[in-house]
Every structure is written in C-alpha cells, then in structure tokens.
Amino acid sequence: MTRQEAIGVAPGADVIEAIARATIERLPAAFRAHLGDVVLFVDEVADDETLAALGLEHPLDLTGVYNGRPVGEKSSMDSAAMPDRIHLYRQAILAEWCETGVRLDELVAHVTIHEIGHHFGLSDDDMHALEDEAGD
C-alpha cells in the first residue's frame, strides 16, 4: 500500500497522465503514428469557456475534450495552426470514478481513447455505436 492510499489522498494529475500515456502506448502502431503531434494535458477542471462552448454548466460534467482538427480534415495549410490537444479533467474523472466504481485505469483509458476517437474524426454517436458493437 502506498502512502497515498494509506491516507486516502486522491490520485494526482501525474497518476492520471501516466495511465493516459500508457493507454496511448498500448494502441496499435498505425494509430500511434497519427498521434505524434497531439499534446496531452491533465487539468483540474474544464474552464468556463470550454464548458460554455459545449453547453455544459458544471465542470464535473466533462471528463475530457479534444481540441483540434480531425486527421481527415487536415491540410498543408494547417502548418501555423496550434497543435491538437487532448485535455483530461482530473476532478471530473475522480468524481465519475467514485460514483461508478469503475477502476481508475479503465476509466482514464476510456476517456483517453474517446478523445483520441475525436482526433480521428469520430463523433460521440460513432464511438458509442462502436463500444456497443464491441460489447456484444
């Protein structure tokens, strides 16, 4: 048992980032090859601007977000664009972890892969359909 577990301290951003990076490393090489320029951030909560853009009111309603242009929409004119970014939100992930009882590594992996799905141009509906098919 680690000291953190012994005193009941919630996992930090470093733990969530390590799980997310390990998840990315387990992806097939063909997918990883298209993630080289994507920057991963772990923030405490989504900022007000992000929440407003998504029509959300409470920061615990958003566990992650992808900012950028999907792979299929990129062009050579994008050279001056900001790098694509995946933001994971620690407080929302921890709240969902506590509410659902899903293992933290499974939850972080799910959120990470979901945001990577947006990088590849998949909609939320597309990803839910794929998850449903995979669950059968």
Model confidence at 1, in pLDDT bands (50, 70, 90)?
very low
Cross-sheet strand order for the sheet of 39-43: 39-43, 85-89, 64-67
Model confidence at 39, in pLDDT bands (50, 70, 90)?
very high
Amino acid making up residue 47 = D
| pLDDT value of position 112 | 93
d(Cα 16, Cα 22) in Å, to the nearest integer? 10
| pLDDT value of position 36 | 79
For residue 46, which of 112, 113, 91 has the smallest C-alpha distance? Answer: 91
| 134 or 131: which leads in pLDDT | 131
Model confidence at 118, in pLDDT bands (50, 70, 90)?
confident
Mean pLDDT, rounded, for 28-42: 87
Mean pLDDT, rounded, for 29-33: 83
Question: Which letter does DSSP use for residue 21 in this model?
Answer: H
Domains and CATH numbers, the chain: 10-70+78-135 (3.30.2010.20)
